[in-house]
Amino acid sequence: MTAAALDTPAGRAELFRYFEPFSVLGLAVSGGPDSVAMMRLVALWRDDRLAAGLPVPDITVLTVDHGLRPGAAEEASLVARWAAEVGFRHETLAWRGEKPATGIQAAAREHRYRLLTTWAASQVPAAAIALAHTRDDQAETLLMRLARGSGPDGLAAMRTETSREGVALLRPLLDVSKAELLAFLGSIGAASIEDPSNSAMKFERVRIRAAGAARIALGLEDDALATTARRMARAVAALEAETARLLRTCLGRQPLLHCGVFDWPFDLGAPDEIRIRLLGRILRMVGGTGPGTELELAAVERLAARLDQADFAGATLGRCQLVASRGRVLICREVGRAPLQLIGLSPGDHALWDGRFRVAVAPSGEAPFGREITVCGFGAALQAAVAAAAPDLAMPAIPASALAGLPAFLADDDLLAVPSVGFQADNPAGRELAFTAEFIATT
């Protein structure tokens, strides 16, 4: 894309086509030239659409005050003034509390995304967040990940459309260079702020940026690197589609899945890359950490290789325990490493428990139930209570540690139900209510 294309309604329509499905939009604007240029371009795009009689989203400019520099609050106020000039609302999102002594850039990034996604999720309907990453940022990200030995996913770098905590993150400027944005700002006489941390050589991204001339001399230009990232993203999409297809096939032959236990399929006949991806997906599903959670690729690769060895005796990874027994490997939730969730429910309520089970309580009669119901793990003491109350109940053929990861329903100290093993107490409370626990199998 060229600076001239940014100046035309057609160019802006192409640039911001990702915004069209959303009725609420947050623009992440720090005050730096990239994000200020995005804000100014979005204002022009809005005007283009209004002139054409097309709908526009409800737009708010968001500035994160990390509390790391004395002038940050004043800079946020300046962004608010610039936002008002183009007719946008502005909110400052502040990172409160203590700051880490090391890894400050990573911590700031994590809190920035958390603040932005929390704001987006609070909107009705939920908002999308637009981020001003450029082609330069894309090239730098690819080089940083290449230095770490990243696989295809890492080398795909940043995507135009992703999600975090269920919130859509949009990066419309990935095909635009910083130089093009600076030229645009110059053409309209718009000011911006330069963050002094952008020249601090202690940060990896700054060091890579400073070596730009040297890498360009070697032919490692931003255009070529961004093209590589796009092609890697295309390859990753194909690999992920095949992994999802294989996982759906595997889910059809998992008799213990209702207990959150996955029987590893040794007869896959799939290439190593697909097997590694499949294992990662299963670990995230069984561990309850969710599809977007990152597992260390090297650790998943090592585990996938060990699974094929005849002497494999078990392992743990990603809140999961892998138990080898009689030629099988069962993957279940590791209870000891990360505590199980404890939640309260009332009749008529439903909730996500431990990131794995959709639990619900429904009244089976008209009389109100006067006690709060707690959902907790089915530990050893509760397993013994069920064995005493229902000696003829056949428990699922899974390790006791896997049983401990199932949801149990209690009222005070009274055990009411463990739906995953087919137990419901024969007492007034147990008879008055209906309990369900459905394992969420994500593909």
DSSP β-bridge partners for residue 423: 418
- In the three-class reduction of DSSP (H, G, I as helix; E, B as strand; rest coil), residue 2 is classed as coil
The span from the CA of 193 to the CA of 36, in Å, is 9
In the block, tokens 């309850």 appear at: 288
The span from the CA of 118 to the CA of 169, in Å, is 12
Max Cα-Cα span within the chain: 81
Closest by CA to 157, choosing from 177, 143, 175, 176, is 143
* C-beta of residue 29 within 8 angstroms of C-beta of residue 132: yes
Q: Quickly list H helices, 70-189.
A: 72-85, 104-122, 135-147, 152-155, 178-188
Residue 202: predicted pLDDT? 57
Task: Say which DSSP state 398 is in.
Answer: S
DSSP β-bridge partners for residue 62: 28, 91
Which parts of the chain sit beneath pLDDT 70?
A: 1-4, 195-206, 210-213, 291-292, 364-370, 427-431, 443
The span from the CA of 231 to the CA of 248, in Å, is 26
Considering the entire predicted model, what is its pTM? 0.78
- Rama region for 67: left / alpha / beta (φ>0; ψ in -120 to 50; rest): left
Fold that domain 3-231 belongs to in CATH? Rossmann fold (3.40.50)
Burial bucket for residue 78 (CB in 10 Å: 0-12, 13-18, 19+): middle
Burial bucket for residue 127 (CB in 10 Å: 0-12, 13-18, 19+): buried
Token reading at 79: 């962004």
Residue 106: predicted pLDDT? 78
Burial bucket for residue 54 (CB in 10 Å: 0-12, 13-18, 19+): exposed
The span from the CA of 429 to the CA of 433, in Å, is 7
Helices and strands (DSSP H and E) totals, the chain: 16, 18
The span from the CA of 323 to the CA of 331, in Å, is 6
Closest by CA to 270, choosing from 287, 247, 297, is 247
**Tally of CA atoms within 13 A in the half-sphere of 74 that contains its CB:** 5
* C-beta of residue 132 within 8 angstroms of C-beta of residue 42: no
Residue 160: predicted pLDDT? 92
Closest by CA to 302, choosing from 285, 326, 279, 333, is 279
* C-beta of residue 36 within 8 angstroms of C-beta of residue 185: yes
The span from the CA of 188 to the CA of 329, in Å, is 64
